Amino acid sequence: MSGVSSHCHVSSQRCCHRGGVVGAFHSHSRAPVSRPLARRRALVSRAASSRVPLCTIMSVPPRALVLLADGSEEIETTAPVDILRRAGAHVKLASVEVVAGTWARLGVAASRGVGLVGDVSVEEAAQGTWDVIVVPGGMPGAKHIRESEHAVKLLQSHKGHVAAICAAPAVVLADAGILAQGDKATCHPAFAESLTDQIGKCADDRVAVTARTGGDQGSLVITSRGPGTAIEFSLALVALIFGSEKAAEVAGPMVVHDGALDGAAAVSAALA
């Protein structure tokens, strides 16, 4: 995948090949929160409460985290990384996979067997501050993310923007309490009944936007339906952290279809 490192530096310096997928391992470590990190957290909170993109408050790129697991859907995982990086965001992939409860495995086999490599473990990612956390779909990838204690704690403790696509709105967000009864959300048609049972309704929108229950003031939850809506979903994420003009700028050279910016427009309306 363009823009994603094909190797990783890990403390154990050990890698192995498993079915053609590079499996990188490293021990979990926790670093104290630095003063720059504390300052950034304060600025993220200020951006959310004022509904102003962080990039207009702070002269550093907005930060996005995309969760990753064995069985994550390839397009839904890589489209947000690609499109957010086109916009200028600092994007990291965080693997939820572990071996024997000790070593984080950064290399995963995605839902169609494509090998993807995370930048960090989800436990390491929890030490950072993110403008948006993105949960891709695909099965059993969404199930693996839901079963990751570190991933669920990260999503619940992060009070800013969250986004999910395909199976993930029903399997991960609703299960974790990030989507609640009455929220507007969508998902893959195969999971529509489950999402309806959990929050009351599954919207037909290709990209749905709702205020985040229990989140910081101004924080949103963005959901979408599947691989075919992944570009619209990703452009909505650009609008979320950069604004609608940047989303249109990124979309132009991509030769997207009419309506590809509808999700971005919905985000802009929610932030207005």
Spell out the long-range contacts of 53-62 with Cβ–Cβ below 8 A and sequence spacing 24 or more.
Answer: 53/240, 53/241, 53/242, 53/243, 54/131, 54/241, 55/88, 55/241, 55/242, 60/90, 61/88, 61/89, 61/90, 62/88, 62/89, 62/90, 62/131, 62/132, 62/241, 62/242
Q: Are 225 and 189 in contact (CB under 8 A)?
A: yes
> Which position among 144, 161, 166, 187 bears the catalytic label?
166
Q: Annotated catalytic, 55?
A: no
> What is the β-pairing status of strands 21-27 and 103-105?
antiparallel
Sign of the alpha-carbon dihedral angle for 244, 246, 249, 254: negative
Question: Is position 166 annotated as part of the catalytic site?
Answer: yes
Two structure tokens written together for 147 = 């079963």
Measured in residues, the chain has a length of 272
C-alpha distance from residue 218 to each of 26, 41, 214 (Å): 36, 15, 11
Tokens found for residue 97: 């996979």
Provide the 8-state DSSP code for 173: I
Out of 55, 187, 188, 202, the active site residue is 188
Residues involved in catalysis: 166, 188
